[in-house]
Amino acid sequence: ISGAVVVLIGGAAYLSFGRNQQNSDKTVTIGIMSGSKQDDAIWKTVSKTAKDKYGITIKLKEFSDYSQPNKALADGDIDLNAFQHYAFLDATNKSSKTNIVAIGDTVISPIRLYSSKYQKVNQFKTGDTIAVPNDPSNESRSLYVLKNAGLIGLKSGKALATVKDITDNPKQLKIKELSADQTARSLSDLAGAVVNGTYADTAGLDYHDAIYVEPLNRDSKQWVNIIAANKKDKDKQLYQDVVKAYQTDATKKTIKSVYKGVELPAW
Ligand code: MET
């Protein structure tokens, strides 16, 4: 008899443990870039909605460079990430043979050209050097920015342009390809740098000091930032709920108040 009691108690204990565990399973770990006060404020709003409306605890894992969060996602160290645009994801899936997909749109963050020497694009001098990010999507994007700013010409019709596609370069500008997290830091040595939103903030640049801002137009969809998941998880309700918790009016309000138009809601 006493053996049976032990089993029953054991069973009950197991059941209640099982239920608790289900609650604590509603934790989602999301990889983001570190060091942006604005992004921290946005995720604070999203985390509150996730907790209040969906009972989900969001844990943030911060990364310092763009090469890390997709690898962490593919390796299962995090559940989702939110740091990249469609074009970066495409390029990563191709080069790293990962199977990562977008499950929700977040913000659009125009890339900007900064200079600590000049206030206007036409002040660049012959032989000046400008830094651009070296990952294929952001490098191409930056070259198009230099083209739109009137500094270089590019071979048309290339999806991903490289420095080899520069056709005109009247000021003989030198383009220095650096890891995206380093372009802002090169500004003290170089005439200019194209800097992603993430790193402008971390490097202490003021967005309003940019001398050229990437225009928003019908080509901009590829630069929309996303929440991404491993393909096998894309329909998981838990992750869909994180997207719903992100895409709210409360989040829009926070984005507007912290970014003041520098980054825009894109859903
Ligand atoms: N938030 C960055 C941008 O839109 C993402 C770059 S891709 C890793 O410029």
ipTM over 0.95 threshold? yes
d(CA 256, CA 250) in angstroms, rounded, equals 10
d(CA 157, CA 94) in angstroms, rounded, equals 20
Report the nearest-CA residue for atom 9 of ligand 1. 196
Closest ligand 1 atom to Cα of 225? 4
* Interhelix angle 37-54/249-259, nearest 10 degrees: 170
Q: What pLDDT is stored for residue 202 in this prediction?
A: 86
CA of 156 to the centre of ligand 1 (A): 23
CB of 183 sitting under 6 A from ligand 1: no
Torsion angle (degrees, nearest 10) of CA 99, 100, 101, 106: -170
Q: Which residues of the chain have pLDDT under 70?
A: 1-24
Q: Which of 128, 103, 126 is nearest to 113 (CA)?
A: 128
CA distances 88 to 71, 83, 142, 212, Å, are: 13, 10, 13, 22
CB of 66 sitting under 6 A from ligand 1: yes
CB of 147 sitting under 6 A from ligand 1: no
CB of 31 sitting under 6 A from ligand 1: no
Report the nearest-CA residue for atom 7 of ligand 1. 84
Q: What pLDDT is stored for residue 250 in this prediction?
A: 98
Closest ligand 1 atom to Cα of 87? 7
Q: What pLDDT is stored for residue 24 in this prediction?
A: 55
CA of 198 to the centre of ligand 1 (A): 7
Report the nearest-CA residue for atom 4 of ligand 1. 109
Residue 146 tokens, joined: 């230099």
Q: Which of 18, 98, 95, 23 is nearest to 54 (CA)?
A: 23
pTM: 0.90
Give pLDDT tens digits for 72-119.
Answer: 999 999 999 999 999 999 999 999 999 999 999 999 999 999 999 999
CA of 200 to the centre of ligand 1 (A): 11
Report the nearest-CA residue for atom 5 of ligand 1. 84
Report the nearest-CA residue for atom 8 of ligand 1. 84
Closest ligand 1 atom to Cα of 88? 7
CA 14 to chain CA centroid, nearest Å: 41
Residue 99 tokens, joined: 């199977």
* C-beta separation of 137 from 196 below 8 A: no
Q: What pLDDT is stored for residue 10 in this prediction?
A: 46
